[in-house]
């Protein structure tokens, strides 16, 4: 069974710190990887996607992919209280499989 694993958290970081969110997946054939942010009571919002090994940066966000280790991560630099949300990792082979999400809390 194809799976996507995330630590449910909460991950608590102080304002201004780097938040590191991790995700592992079981299907080696996975081709594309997505990070969604979901605020409480809201729908998921796409933050980033990554297809190739290495890092991809977009503003304060960096996605990192290591296909050999079947590992994808999201770094949030200069974390803000407004970043407090649940972050969903999603992995695509023939369909999109979601993890249960990691709850991030950024405290002032």
User: Nearest-CA neighbor of 32 among 97, 99, 78, 86?
Assistant: 97
46 binds another protein (CB under 8 A): yes
Quickly tell me which residue has 């992919």 as its tokens. Answer: 65
- Does residue 13 have a cis peptide bond before it, meaning omega lies within 30 degrees of 0? no
Question: Is the Cβ–Cβ distance between 9 and 102 less than 8 Å?
Answer: yes
Q: Least distance in Å: CB of 57 to another protein?
A: 18
Q: Diameter of the chain by CA atoms?
A: 41
Give the one residue of 4, 63, 85, 104 binding another protein; rule: CB under 8 A: 4
61 binds another protein (CB under 8 A): no
26 binds another protein (CB under 8 A): no
Nearer Cβ to another protein, position 79 or 89? 89
Positions touching another protein (CB under 8 A) are: 4, 31-32, 34, 36, 42-46, 49, 51, 88, 90, 92-101
């Amino acid at each position: 069974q194809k799976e996507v694993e995330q630590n449910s958290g909460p991950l608590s970081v102080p304002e201004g710190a780097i938040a590191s969110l991790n995700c592992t997946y079981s299907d080696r054939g996975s081709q594309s990887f997505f990070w969604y942010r979901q605020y409480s009571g809201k729908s998921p919002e796409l933050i980033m996607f990554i297809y190739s090994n290495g890092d991809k940066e977009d503003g304060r966000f960096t996605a990192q992919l290591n296909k050999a280790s079947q590992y994808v991560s999201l770094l949030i630099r200069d974390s803000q209280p407004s970043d407090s949300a649940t972050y969903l990792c999603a992995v695509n082979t023939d369909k999109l499989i979601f993890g249960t999400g990691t709850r991030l809390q950024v405290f002032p």
